[in-house]
A and B are shown apart, each in its own frame.
Chain A
Amino acid sequence: MDTPAELRYTKSDEWVRVEGDVATIGITDYAQSELGDIVFLELPEVGRYLQTDEAFGAVESVKAASDLYAPVEGEVIEVNTALQSALEQINQDPYGAGWMIKIRMKDPSQVNTLMTADEYRAYRGL
């Protein structure tokens, strides 16, 4: 199970990549593996302002549905619209082409409250 060291993680299995004040968000390799084949994805509109832990969308596999939660507070500045016609990217490349949204963070230091890769691995017993 892949957990890149440069990313931060949430208990609800999102990952966060930070570049300046922009956080890119997706679901982890563990999450996609647990869900199996993804068949449905619901993402917010660009411009929506998300509170920390607010549900911003949903991802569904053949087996299960899972809400997506904002790891950090801020405005959605980009949505990976290409994903809708290539949902298998979430399974095949969860940290790359499978990214979901970008948020301009209100407070970039908020990422320090999220789990490191080691902490996430310990949390999930990976």
Chain B
Amino acid sequence: MKRTALYEAHRRTGARMVEFAGWEMPVQYRGIIEETRAVRQAWGIFDVSHMARAHFRGEAAAQFLSRLVPSDLSKVAPGTGQYTVLTNERGGVVDDVIVYHLAPDHWLMVFNAANREKDLAWFQRWQAEFTNPPTIDDQTEQTVMIAVQGPEAAARLSAHMNPALAEVPRFGTLAFEWEGMPLFAARTGYTGEDGFELIAPAEYGERLWDALLAWGATPCGLGARDVLRVEAGLHLYGHELTDDTNPIEAGLGWLVSERTDYIGAEPILQAKQAVPTRKLMGIVLQERGVPREGYPVLVDGQGVGQLTSGVYSPTLEQGIGMAYLPAALAKAGTPCAVEIRGRAIPALITTRRFLKRS
């Protein structure tokens, strides 16, 4: 099993470790509820070094990436990033990723740990189409990535590290040096809160982690990370996104441009124009219970889908989940039920915006 450069730090902090996508990762420190609350109310830090990071360099870098994703990358200015998906020929999703435009002819992609080998093979396959393909440099194991998330994250980081961080817009990036440590910061995350994801060379990892702890951040594990992303209605590959789901039914139509020159453009543009057959929706339990992945969703006693994710939301103090439902039923406010241990627990179909804030 692979270990991140922060493994020893996690042991010192009292983490409980689990296997995830071939990595030994912290699932929790003091408790998932406490960690979730810290990120919603203050700030927390997550070791996400297992996520894959690869640099694309060369004059065809943007052209190459544009072949792989439905987004319009000409709108992604240097110093910014874009959440998008890698699509296959059938219009399905190979992976969901963030691409960062670091400099002219230089892009960074962050993709899922579980898909690292698959994605690298995918890139290699499409490189052959190009006479001058970009070089692809997988830096996952040479670097650490720490997500710093929560309403206090930006203020804390800008106070302790660099005041310019406060000015970085959502999905903006900033490369800077802090006490001799080269850092890349992106104002992105996977929690529904404001915050940054920091990348540093692996040898600085523990120093960075310890500094964040010393400034009062709560260490958070994969358990809280999953709860936070479901509460935020965000997709997880292998759950809400697969090789057989298209971005339109997944509710990601907003990142599909009018371009027709990327892999899978035809089926995706068709799906965009067609009446959808199914749609990814939120489910909120109306009684006590914990909905989990795979549990059947019932409408009028009939099975209409199953949960792709489900958690107890400590923020809402309710069970919540997501499911692909027939488009005719996919209306917020429609009563449904989730079958838990053979019993139909009343629930409501909702949008994926579980945390509606005024």
Report A40 CB to chain B, min CB distance, Å. 5
Interface: B31 (CB within 8 A): yes
* Contact present for B290 and A36 (CB under 8 Å): no
Mask for A76-91, Cβ within 8 A of B = 1, else 0? 0000000000000001
Return the chain B residue nearest A40 by Cβ. B290
Does A37 have its Cβ within 8 Å of any Cβ on chain B? yes
Judged by DSSP, the binding face of A is: strand
Q: What residues of A have a CB within 8 angstroms of the CB of B312 in the complex? A: 39-40, 60, 62
- How many A-B contacts at CB < 8 Å in the complex? 36
Question: Is the CB–CB distance between B341 and A62 below 8 Å?
Answer: no
A36-B31 in contact (CB<8A):
yes
- Give Cα A65–Cα B289 distance, bound, in whole angstroms: 10
Is the pair B289, A63 in contact by a Cβ cutoff of 8 Å? no
Contact of A63 with B288 in the complex, beta carbons under 8 Å: no
Indicate if the CB atoms of A65 and B292 lie closer than 8 Å.
yes
> What sequence of 0s and 1s flags, for each residue 55-67 of chain A, a beta carbon within 8 Å of any chain B beta carbon?
0001011110100
Task: Report if B223 contacts A (CB, 8 A).
Answer: yes
Interface 1/0 per residue, A109-125 and B, CB below 8 Å? 00000000000000000
User: A62, B289: Cβ atoms under 8 Å?
Assistant: no
CB distance from A104 to the nearest CB of B (A): 26
Task: Report whether over half of chain B's contact residues are helix, strand or loop; otherwise say mixed.
Answer: mixed
Instruction: Kindly state whether residue B185 has any CB partner on chain A within 8 Å.
Output: no
A40 touches B32 (CB 8 A): no
Flag if A62 contacts B314 (CB, 8 Å): yes
Counting contact residues on chain A (CB < 8 A from B), the size range is: 10 to 19
Answer whether residue B33 sits at the interface, using C-beta atoms and an 8 A cutoff: yes
Q: Is B15 an interface residue (CB 8 A)?
A: no
Known interface pairs A36-B223, A39-B312. Does A65 touch B31 (Cβ–Cβ under 8 Å)?
no
What 0/1 pattern do residues 27 to 42 of A give for CB contact below 8 A with B?
0000000001101100
Q: Which residues of A pack against B, CB within 8 Å?
A: 36-37, 39-40, 58, 60-63, 65, 91
**Chain B: residues with CB nearer than 8 A to chain A?**
27-28, 31-34, 223, 227, 288-290, 292, 311-312, 314, 341
CB-based closest 6 A-B pairs: A39-B312, A62-B32, A37-B33, A60-B290, A40-B290, A37-B31
16 further contact pairs, Cβ within 8 A, besides A37-B33, A62-B312, A63-B223: A36-B32, A37-B31, A37-B314, A39-B33, A39-B290, A40-B288, A40-B290, A40-B312, A61-B32, A62-B223, A62-B290, A62-B314, A63-B32, A65-B290, A65-B341, A91-B31
